[in-house]
Every structure is written in C-alpha cells, then in structure tokens.
C-alpha cells in the first residue's frame, strides 16, 4: 500500500484548538489494521479498502465514487433508501415525513426533524449546533457559488430553482463575492424547520434528489466560513460518523459521531426475502451506528487488496477483483477453503455502466460530420466486449446495449443493439468508405485528408487499466488504427476531462436513484464539462431531455427513453461496454451487509464482532 504524508488537520484559520478526537492517536501505523479491535477493548471496527483515491470530502466539490462513499457517511440528506428493501424504497432520514407537493410538481415543501445535531467542531465555539431548514438552503446555494466551481452545478441548475441561476450569473458578471444572504425567489425559509423550493418547471421526481447526500446533504454555514477553501479537509455533518484521521490517497479513519441522534436499526425487507429477514431478525432495534470505527485503506492494485482480505487485514472486500473470482467464488459460490473460515460472499448486478467517451470538440474523433460519426462507430464495432467480459472480468459483467443502467427507468433487458456488436469487418468497411485508409503502407490508417492519425487514450496506472489497454490496443491494431496511451492519476484525468483536454477516456457511472434520466443527462448540451464529458450537443437530444424532465412517469416518458437511445447509438459520443456484476466478500465477524441499490451509504447498518483478526 502506497504511503503519503499525513494531511495536517489544523484549525489555525479559526484560532480554535482541535477537538480531542482529531489529535488523539486513532490507529497504529503500518498495515490497515493489524487486528480488529486494535483500539479500546471491545471496539467494533470495520476495516476495508477502496480501489481509487478520494478527491475531497466537500459535498459541493466532488464527482467521484470514492469521495461520494466517504461523504455519504458524514453528511445526511432528507431521505434515503431502505438498506434492505428490494425493490428499493425511499424513506425519511432527517425529514419529518413526506414533502408537500403543489403547483404541478413545481413547489416542494420539506420539514426537518427537530433535535438533530451536527458533530462537534471548533466552528461552533463550544455550542451544540442543531440541524435546521436553513442548512439545506445554504447547501443548495453553495453549488451556485462560482468560487467553488462545483462540478454538480449544472445538475442543480437544471432543477431551475427560481432566481438561483440569476444570482450566480450576476455574481459572475460583476466578478463579485457570492451573496449567501440575498433572498432567492424560489428558496423560502418558512420557519426554523421548514423550507420551500419553487421550481420554474415541473420536477415529478425531485424527491429522489433529496436522497443524494453529496447533492442535498446539509452543510453548516459556520463550518464552511471557518475553513474557507479548506472545507474539503474538515467535513462536519449530522451523519453517523466523523473523520478522525486522513492520509491523502492512503488511509482514512472514521469514528462514531458521539452526538448522533437516537436512531435504531429498522430496515424492512420484503416478506419473501429470506436473507433480508434473517438480517433484520438479528439487528432490528439496535442503535445506529453499530460500529465504533471504520478504517478505509486506499489500495489501488487488485492483488494487494485481495491478499489483505485473505490475510485478515480487511474484514470486508468491496468488489472482489475479477481475476480472483475463479479462486474465491467459482461458479458463484464461496470456495470451500474460504467457506470453512466463515467467509461469505454475494454477487449483485449493479446499476452501473462502463464506457469510453470521445471528446466531441476534438479535431480527430469529435464532430457530427458523417466521417467523424463513422469513425466513432467503427471504433465501437472493433472493440471485443465479450472478450473483455471473458478474459478480464472473468464473466462478471453483461454487455451494455445502450446508455441506461439496470434497475432504473428506461432499461430494457431484452433490447439489443450495435453497441455490443463486435465486427472488425464492418469496422474496416466503414473506415474505408469514409476515407480512413493506409496510404503509405506503414500499416496504420491516415485521416481522410491524408495526414497521420493516432488516437490518444487517457488512462490510469493501475493494473485493471493496463489490462484494458492491452485489449483495446489489440482491437485497434486489428483494424489498423494507431493508439497512444497517456497515463495519469485519476484526479488529474478528471480535471483535464472537465476542461475538455482529453480525447478518449474510460470511465464508469453508478446509478444514484431509480430513474434512468441521469444517463440521458450525460448527453445534455448544458451539462458539457460536467456530467456531459464528451461535450455532446444535439438539439433533438436536448429537447428529449427537457421534455423527459417535466413529464410524470408513464408510457409517454418511456417512449422518450427509446428515442434518446436511438440518438445515443447513432452518434456514439460514448462507446458503452458493460454492466458489472459485483462480488463482495466478508469474514464471519461481519453481519448485516447488503450492497446498496443506488448509493454508497451502508456503514451504519452493518455490525462487526469485536475481537482478534478473523484470518
């Protein structure tokens, strides 16, 4: 495991001393936990690893799954998904009941439960700080603050809260400081615990957004103002855990929030869900969180992550690396030598998708001209997705046929398309037809104007990407297209992607709720540079997105998904690859785990028996 310098969690800017929980030694240096319970006797400690580094722990400034996982255990949204319910079901988290919806889904009124408090922090100057409605209004305004350059602003802007985009535009035009105290027409504080949002257009599924902690998690203004541009290093929320130790891109430790409200384990599985009912029978009624501490290691390479689990240094293995599926879970069952030790495993088809995107502003692969479209479609036809599933993913995936992810509105498991087709012959024919030929006999195709052509694919240094690159190079070599790989760390690639500086990049997306429109948003012109990485702009797709946004669920809206899918496949700004099957494994001391259907918040629902390492 790579080591970095420990990030100093100081509060010098506030002239306040750090609380004891940040200055105490939280865990021994060395491995990610040499033995469970390495703190106080009887502590319940979950140790596991994530495969990619975090970027920040500020809800307004993140857009990667690692940071979202961490953030969702500190900050709380109004609603959440029941941990066990399948199909997934939204339930109140800090909301006091259901929202009041008026004006044809344009006016939404939310109430916040009384008696919920933020974790202690010097910014509160020794006072207990209750969660109030104004904290949600402030959190929403932070996305509009140009100083934060929030990658999620386009999503918030699309909700069309009356007056919010105008405030942001005026701030930019005047090059002024964002005025958080200025009244916004569509944001009303009705009383200490009630706020109202007035939207310019109907948003029938707006409540789902209130279940996303990195989009609508409450933020205390005192904390944001105390730490300024260091807010991402000082996360303070009302959630079940708080940050106790942080070594950038290496190790993070979270501990139980001692002021977390009285909340008991009350998840409700379906009556015919035998596994869920067994979990509920064991844990129902216990106070949350069940854990005292969570130790998260960042282990980017698959083999060290797997060995850390086998050796008992990790209690839980998030996403068994595919190359170890045959050893650990042959035929979908835990291998006998592991089962004898009490190791358990589960396999879930995720609401996710992997893809390559093509920068539509790039002079080589971008554009809507016929020869540019033909190039992207040819590249897609040349990629052997089934080979990737068989060799690299060890069968732990299914081919993606379009942009919509499983378990969401608009996904059709029976639909088949060119997106999953492998045909080097068709790819070569398309390239020849549109002038991509090898004129000088060196084995590589030139562009239609005769100039040399080489594709630049951005990638990361981890083994999984090296393997993906080998497969891609083999496929591109087979059709005479030269590929150059440019390697950088994930945060560097993300920054460059947002600036439109990458030509081709491989990514994945995980569904955040039950509606499939989030993937269509990746084609929405105004989202260019944010969720729309390719910067794809097409009037018909934009019109579909806008109409889909305001329509209630029903046949008319489902028809729009089908239309959007046709455009996505025809112009191919994305080459979608697979929907992944995920195998999670845990030692005998872990109970209560079920992979979240859409989001990443689950630590508070699981238990780890105290005691020595289970190895």
> What is the per-residue pLDDT for 586?
97
> What is the per-residue pLDDT for 11?
31
Lowest mean pLDDT among 151-165, 190-204, 536-550: 151-165
Q: What angle do CA 89, 92, 98 make, to 5 degrees?
A: 95
**DSSP-assigned letter for residue 118:** P
> What is the per-residue pLDDT for 463?
86
Q: What is the mean pLDDT of residues 23-35?
A: 32
**405-422: pLDDT as tens digits:** 999 999 999 999 999 999
Which of 451, 437, 427, 447 has its CA nearest to residue 374? 427
Higher pLDDT, 250 or 615: 250
> What is the per-residue pLDDT for 599?
72
| pLDDT(26) > 80 | no
Mean of the per-residue pLDDT values for the chain? 91
Domain of residue 527, CATH code? 3.10.105.10
How far apart CA 519 and CA 532 sit, in angstroms, is 9
First to last CA, the chain: 19
Question: 353 pairs with which residues across the strands?
Answer: 509
Count Cβ atoms below 10 Å from residue 526 Cβ, excluding itself: 15
> What is the per-residue pLDDT for 529?
86
Reported confidence tier of residue 31, pLDDT bands at 50, 70, 90: very low
389, part of any domain: yes
> What is the per-residue pLDDT for 572?
97
| pLDDT(33) > 90 | no
> What is the per-residue pLDDT for 612?
64
Which of 315, 305, 594, 349 has its CA nearest to residue 464? 305
570, part of any domain: yes
Structurally, the chain folds into a number of domains equal to 1
> What is the per-residue pLDDT for 600?
79
138, part of any domain: no
Q: What is the dihedral of CA 179, 180, 181, 182, to 10 degrees?
A: 60
370, part of any domain: yes
182, part of any domain: no
> What is the per-residue pLDDT for 154?
84
> What is the per-residue pLDDT for 554?
94
In the chain, pLDDT over 90 holds for what percent of residues?
Answer: 83
| pLDDT(72) > 70 | yes
**79-119: pLDDT as tens digits:** 999 999 998 999 999 999 999 999 999 999 999 999 999 99
How far apart CA 102 and CA 550 sit, in angstroms, is 14
**173-228: pLDDT as tens digits:** 999 999 999 999 999 999 999 999 999 999 999 999 999 887 789 999 999 999 99
Let me know how many helices (H) and strands (E) the chain has, helices first: 20, 21
Q: What is the mean pLDDT of residues 127-145?
A: 97
338, part of any domain: no
Q: Can you read off the two tokens belonging to residue 506? A: 């491989």
| pLDDT(49) > 80 | yes
360, part of any domain: yes
**485-517: pLDDT as tens digits:** 999 998 899 999 999 999 999 999 887 788 999
How far apart CA 85 and CA 268 sit, in angstroms, is 6
> What is the per-residue pLDDT for 42?
82
Q: What is the mean pLDDT of residues 295-311?
A: 95
> What is the per-residue pLDDT for 471?
97
Q: Residues 6 or more apart from 326 whose CB is under 8 A from it?
A: 394
Domain carrying residue 504 = 352-580
Helix axes 370-382, 463-478, angle to 10 degrees: 120
| pLDDT(327) > 70 | yes
How far apart CA 587 and CA 310 sit, in angstroms, is 9
136, part of any domain: no
> What is the per-residue pLDDT for 598?
82
Higher pLDDT, 305 or 158: 305
| pLDDT(459) > 70 | yes
Q: What is the mean pLDDT of residues 264-268?
A: 96
Lowest mean pLDDT among 16-25, 275-284, 583-592: 16-25
């Amino acid at each position: 495991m790579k080591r970095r310098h420990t990030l100093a969690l100081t509060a010098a800017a506030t002239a306040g001393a750090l609380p004891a929980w940040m200055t105490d030694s939280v865990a021994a240096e060395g491995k990610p936990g040499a033995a469970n319970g390495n703190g106080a006797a009887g502590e319940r400690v979950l140790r596991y690893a994530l495969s990619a580094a975090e970027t920040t722990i500020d809800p307004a400034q993140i857009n990667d799954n690692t940071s979202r996982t961490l953030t969702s255990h500190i900050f709380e949204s109004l609603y959440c998904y029941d941990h066990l319910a399948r199909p997934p079901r939204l339930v109140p988290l800090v909301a006091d009941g259901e929202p009041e919806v008026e004006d044809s889904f344009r006016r939404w009124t939310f109430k916040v439960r009384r008696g919920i408090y933020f974790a202690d922090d010097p910014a509160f100057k020794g006072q207990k700080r209750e969660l109030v409605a104004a904290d949600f209004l402030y959190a929403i305004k932070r996305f509009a603050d140009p100083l934060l350059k929030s990658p999620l602003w386009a999503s918030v802007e699309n909700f069309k809260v009356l007056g919010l985009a105008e405030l942001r535009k005026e701030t930019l035009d005047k090059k002024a400081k964002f005025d958080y105290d200025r009244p916004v027409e569509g944001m009303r504080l009705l009383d200490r615990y009630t706020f109202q949002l007035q939207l310019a257009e109907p948003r029938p599924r707006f409540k789902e957004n209130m279940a996303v902690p990195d989009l609508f998690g409450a933020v205390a203004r005192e904390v944001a103002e105390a730490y300024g541009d260091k807010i991402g290093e000082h996360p303070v929320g009302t959630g079940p855990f708080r940050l106790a130790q942080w070594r950038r891109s290496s190790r993070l430790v979270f501990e139980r929030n001692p002021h977390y409200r009285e909340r008991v384990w009350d998840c409700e599985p379906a009556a015919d869900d035998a596994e869920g009912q067994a979990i509920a029978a064991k844990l129902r009624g216990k106070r949350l969180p069940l854990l005292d501490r969570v130790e998260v290691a960042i282990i980017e390479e698959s083999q060290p992550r797997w060995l850390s689990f086998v050796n008992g240094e990790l209690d839980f293995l998030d996403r068994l690396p595919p190359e170890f599926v045959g050893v650990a879970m042959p035929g979908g069952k835990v291998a006998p030598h592991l089962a004898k030790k009490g190791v358990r495993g589960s396999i879930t088809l995720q609401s996710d998708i992997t893809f390559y995107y093509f920068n539509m502003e790039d002079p080589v692969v971008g554009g809507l001209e016929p020869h540019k479209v033909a190039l992207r479609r040819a590249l897609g036809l040349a990629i052997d997705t089934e080979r990737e599933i068989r060799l690299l993913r060890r069968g732990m995936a299914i081919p993606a046929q379009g942009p919509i992810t499983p378990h969401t509105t608009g996904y059709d498991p029976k639909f088949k398309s060119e997106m999953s087709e492998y045909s080097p012959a068709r790819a070569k024919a398309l390239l020849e037809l549109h002038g991509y030929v090898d004129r000088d006999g060196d084995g590589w195709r030139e562009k239609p104007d005769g100039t040399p052509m080489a594709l630049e694919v951005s990638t990361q240094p981890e083994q999984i990407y090296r393997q993906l690159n080998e497969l891609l190079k083999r496929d591109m070599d087979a059709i005479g297209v030269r590929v150059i790989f440019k390697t950088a760390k994930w945060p560097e690639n993300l920054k460059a992607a947002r600036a439109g500086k990458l030509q081709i990049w491989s990514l994945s997306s995980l569904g955040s709720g039950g509606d499939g429109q989030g993937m269509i948003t990746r084609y929405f012109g105004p989202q260019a540079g944010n969720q729309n990485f390719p910067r794809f702009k097409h009037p018909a797709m934009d019109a579909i997105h806008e109409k889909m946004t305001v329509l209630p669920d029903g046949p008319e809206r489902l028809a729009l998904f089908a239309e959007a899918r046709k455009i996505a496949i025809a112009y191919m700004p994305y080459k979608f690859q697979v929907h992944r099957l995920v195998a999670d494994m845990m030692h005998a001391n872990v109970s209560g785990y079920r992979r979240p259907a859409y989001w990443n918040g689950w630590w508070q629902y699981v238990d780890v028996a105290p005691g020595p390492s289970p190895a």
